[in-house]
Amino acid sequence: MCAVQDVVDCFEIGQLCAEITDAVMTRDFDRVASLFTPDGTIRWPHIDKEFIGREEIRAGIEWGQGLWEFFVQHVHPGVIRLDGDTAVGRVYIQEFGRMRDGSSHLNYALYHDRYQRTPDGWKFAERVYEVRYLDSTPLAGSPLHAAPGA
């Protein structure tokens, strides 16, 4: 049987994973950085990039998103393993979009995460991205203009 606090912690970590996707999709780079511990790390081994600390993470996410003409990310819940004020987990990702250079990108991947409870709630201590499938076939569609405030 799960303790009530464990259920709450798993819910809050799930919300953290949803919030970072929302922040990336809305290009709110300050919010992305705020979801990490001050010494948090994000690693993208497939492109040999690592960003440590909120300032680097913010700049790295802004740089990465700047490469895209349009970008869509879907997050699917994975597993969370709690250990007091820390936890580890995985979330499953599907991304697609078109780069500014005209190339297309569709992938299935996962983030291997470490989480840390802080006075401000759960934060990412580390995210490591692992691409499992990549398709660079040109996308046939095109983005529609977003509604104001979307």
Cα 58 → chain centroid: 12
What pLDDT band is residue 142 in, cutting at 50, 70 and 90? Answer: confident
Note if the pTM is more than 0.85: yes
Please check whether residue 115 is in contact with residue 125, taking contact to mean a CB–CB distance below 8 angstroms. yes
For residue 140, give the DSSP letter: S
Where are the domains positioned within the chain?
4-135
| 128: pLDDT strictly greater than 60 | yes
Residue 144's pLDDT is what? 79
As a whole number of angstroms, the distance between CA 101 and CA 11 comes to: 39
At 28-73, the pLDDT tens digits run 999 999 999 999 999 999 999 999 999 999 999 999 999 999 999 9
Tell me if the domain spanning 4-135 has CATH number 3.10.450.50. Answer: yes
- How many Cα atoms within 13 Å fall on the side-chain side of residue 45? 10
Residue 1's pLDDT is what? 44
Tokens of 35: 């979801």
Phi and psi at 142, nearest 5°, equal -145, 155
